[in-house]
Structure 1
Amino acid sequence: MEKRIAECINILGRFCGKRDVENLLVSELKNKYQLEQADVMVLFGGSIMCGGDVLATAMKNNVAKKYVIVGGAGHTTEALRIKVHEKFPDIITDGLTEAEIFESYIQYRYRLHADLLECNSTNCGNNITYLLDLLRKNNIAFHSIILAQDATMQHRMEAGMRKYVTDARIINFATYQANVVANNGQLYYENDILGMWDMERYVSLLMGEIPRLSDDADGYGPNGKNYIAHVEIPLEVKMAFAELKATYGNMVREANPLYA
């Protein structure tokens, strides 16, 4: 039973946590997209702490011309504040937005700075619209953009971008890849991931994504709330979600109007 639950969680995790390249390296961008660099890379502040390491590594690898961190205060912000400060007490996170936290993080650990911060958005929808406004205000045009978000929300972030941008290459790179395994009746992460959600929260976030990604009356697609472009959800994902809902029915994260 637990092995099947772990398998279902991983099916949702792979679907939600898209990565279009294995690593953020210039060589991989060249091989797959014939790009020397992406025009822009964006880290979204809904990510867990390891997103800062992903951004710093990308900056060191020179994969983009401009680097942006996006995120005001939303449903994941307080958890990020607590975890970053607990791990790195010299980083004072109280009252900071997600973008400011990650900027402090990469400055503290890597002596790096993003080119731009967007500190007012509160959800995946205005993460995108405020980002696009910021790029326009700073006269940054782009034909290619790397999106790095928490693995639970990566697919929705891409769908949000596709709603507004149809003439640019969107490259997904979820900030982590978690593999859940079952052992002695318990669920565990196979690999250590800095700042990772506890299992219950991870499952809740993943399960909350499937109704949001759905293109029906209750979903976020064009036939619903029209927050995102159409997403095709494979049957395997729908079946895994249904099985998890039978086990964790009360754990589907409900939308908060402020931080949907």
Structure 2
Amino acid sequence: MVELTPSAFQKTLGYSQVDVCALFGGSIIAGVDVLADAITHQVAKHYVIVGGYGHTTEKLFAQVAQLYPEVTPVESESELFSQVLQLKYGLTVDALETKSTNCGNNISNLLALVADRGWPCESVLLMQDATMQLRMHATLSQAAPDIQVVDYATYQVKVSEDLQFLASPEGMWSLHHYLTLLCGELPRLRDDAQGYGPKGKGYLAHVDIPEQVEQAWQALVAQDSTLNRQANPQFKSAIK
């Protein structure tokens, strides 16, 4: 991962600040630490937390309640992360998006918020759970192809051959939930009639999936069919 500093951005991107940095509520709690690092080092002109209530929210709320019992009840992921950011670091963001329920309207609502605020937006730093980072990138690329997407997944984790985490960031999902998130992404990322790419639902820009990733997915799902996470109609919208 590139360091979240203006000098590192200048070296890798050719400019020291992005226009907008967005943390998405689908992330684990450790995403707040990454956002705080970005704010502290002033790598963006504006900072937003995006997220209403979606398929990971219930587990996220339970994690925060256990680790930060002083956080007051809220109805959206972005409000929850905002409280943790203030509690841990005394920091705030410029805006919260509280209504989105999936990757599609995470992006469409973010773009609407940016437009409503009148912020210039030629580049966006996306901070999402590592399992969903690629789909978030492809969703923004489809919705606004002229915006440069700068990816910064909120964590990296390694899993041993016997399916154990070698190290876990704060608030890390259970291994089974992590695997359901990973395996659920591949059918969505496919650019075929059933996928979310241009040849399917048209939600995403085209994504190339390496053959070894397809093979790994086939092996995991063959062992446990529950890993192939199906879309929850409760969180469906015009874009998903």
Q: With structure 2 as the length reference, what TM-score do the two structures score?
A: 0.95
Output the CA distance in 1 between the equivalents of 2:163 and 2:193.
34
Partner in structure 2 of residue 168 of structure 1 = 147
Partner in structure 1 of residue 20 of structure 2 = 40
The alignment yields a C-alpha RMSD, in angstroms, of: 1.1
Structure 2 alignment gaps of length 5 or more? none
Runs (4 or more) in structure 1 with deviation over 4 Å come to none
Give the number of equivalent residue pairs: 236
* Residues 71, 226 of structure 1: alpha-carbon distance in 2 compared, 3 angstrom cutoff: same
Partner in structure 2 of residue 217 of structure 1 = 193
Q: Give the Å deviation of 1:235.
A: 1.2
Output the CA distance in 1 between the equivalents of 2:24 and 2:232.
19
SS at match of 1:188: coil
Match of 2:121 among 125, 129, 142: 142
- Residues 51-62 of structure 1 aligned to structure 2 (within 5 Å): 51-62=31-42
Match of 1:49 among 23, 29, 39: 29
Tell me which of the two structures has the higher relative contact order, counting C-alpha pairs closer than 8 angstroms and 6 or more residues apart.
1
Deviations 1:76-97 (A, max 9, x none): 11111111121011112x3430
Corresponding letter in the other structure for 1:148: M
Q: Give the Å deviation of 1:243.
A: 1.4
Output the CA distance in 2 between the equivalents of 1:141 and 1:257.
34
- Residues 16-31 of structure 1 aligned to structure 2 (within 5 Å): 21-31=1-11
Output the CA distance in 1 between the equivalents of 2:94 and 2:42.
13
Output the CA distance in 1 between the equivalents of 2:123 and 2:227.
36
Identity of aligned residues (%): 45
Q: With structure 1 as the length reference, what TM-score do the two structures score?
A: 0.88
Q: Give the Å deviation of 1:109.
A: 0.6
Match of 2:209 among 233, 236, 239: 233
Partner in structure 2 of residue 99 of structure 1 = 78
Structure 1 alignment gaps of length 5 or more? 1-20
Q: Does 1:190 align with 2:169?
A: no
Corresponding letter in the other structure for 1:22: V
Q: Does 1:202 align with 2:178?
A: yes
SS at match of 1:171: strand
Q: Give the Å deviation of 1:237.
A: 1.1
